[in-house]
Amino acid sequence: MPRTQAERRAATVDALLDATLRSLVEVGLAATTTRGVAQRAGVSQGAQQHHFPTKALLVDATIIRLMEQFVAGLRAASITGDTAEERLHRLLDQLWETHNRPVIAVVHEVFTVARTDPETARLLAATLTTVHDDIVALAAELMPSYAAAPGFRDVMLTTLAAIRATAQIAAIPGTAGAVPRWETLREILARQFIRYA
């Protein structure tokens, strides 16, 4: 049966976001263009501009979808354990694994651009806030006893920042001596939760 207009629209948006992500991974943010994305997606430039009038909006939509997949992956990971501490260690391992996926380099590149591009900064700030809220909420579900402590959200946000920064530095060849081993960092981070619980 022929597709509905809504189905065609969704397919076009999916194709554009997939093409944007491929472009960001393969050539980087600076070399990614709306024209190039439209060609990769197999749609007209007019269709691309209809859905995403600017490159910043196109990239932001791609990052939003990537972050939604990131959170969905955490929820689907079946993080279990008999104690809050066991579940905490499994959550930390899952966060570390996710932050070490090659595609996360795309997010880091967008962070750098956001420092000097106001529109990218505005869009990225909203996306990051939502994602962090989702991750804190998931952590609270997994560890309600820790979440009851007044400093839980700050500890969780500090944990995310430490994991992100460590993974970003560790991805640079030759920097092994500049960051702690994951096992060491995980224990330091876990102690913070226990301390504030």
pLDDT in tens, 63-117: 999 988 998 999 888 899 999 999 999 999 999 999 999 888 888 888 888 899 8
Average pLDDT over residues 190-195: 90
pLDDT at residue 197 in the model: 67
Please indicate, yes or no, whether residues 35 and 64 belong to a single structural domain of this protein. no
What confidence tens digit (pLDDT) does each residue in 133-152 have? 999 999 999 999 999 998 99
Please indicate, yes or no, whether residues 101 and 60 belong to a single structural domain of this protein. yes
Domain holding 94, by residue range, is: 55-196
Please indicate, yes or no, whether residues 147 and 82 belong to a single structural domain of this protein. yes
Please indicate, yes or no, whether residues 89 and 176 belong to a single structural domain of this protein. yes
Q: Is pLDDT of 7 > 90?
A: no
Tokens 């997939």, located at residue: 18
Q: How far apart are CA 147 and CA 166, in angstroms?
A: 24
| Residue 17, helix vs strand vs coil | helix
Over pLDDT 70: what percentage of the chain?
A: 98
Whichever domain contains 49, its CATH number is: 1.10.10.60
Structure tokens at 176: 């092994």
Phi, psi of 46 (to 5 degrees): -65, -40
Q: What is the DSSP letter of 108?
A: H
Average pLDDT over residues 36-51: 93
pLDDT at residue 156 in the model: 96
pLDDT at residue 1 in the model: 63
Whichever domain contains 180, its CATH number is: 1.10.357
Q: Is pLDDT of 38 > 90?
A: yes
User: For the chain, what is the mean pLDDT?
Assistant: 92
Please indicate, yes or no, whether residues 118 and 181 belong to a single structural domain of this protein. yes
Per-residue pLDDT band at 153 (split at 50, 70, 90): very high
Structure tokens at 126: 């909203």
Q: What is the DSSP letter of 7?
A: H
Question: Mutual orientation of helices 104-114 and 5-27 as an angle, nearest 10°?
Answer: 80
Q: How far apart are CA 157 and CA 118, in angstroms?
A: 23
Please indicate, yes or no, whether residues 39 and 94 belong to a single structural domain of this protein. no
Q: How far apart are CA 105 and CA 21, in angstroms?
A: 11
Please indicate, yes or no, whether residues 94 and 173 belong to a single structural domain of this protein. yes
Total count of domains within the chain: 2
Q: Give 60: exposed, middle or buried? Use CB within 10 Å, 0-12, 13-18, 19+.
A: buried
Please indicate, yes or no, whether residues 76 and 31 belong to a single structural domain of this protein. no
* Lowest mean pLDDT, pick from 1-5, 44-48, 157-161, 163-167: 1-5
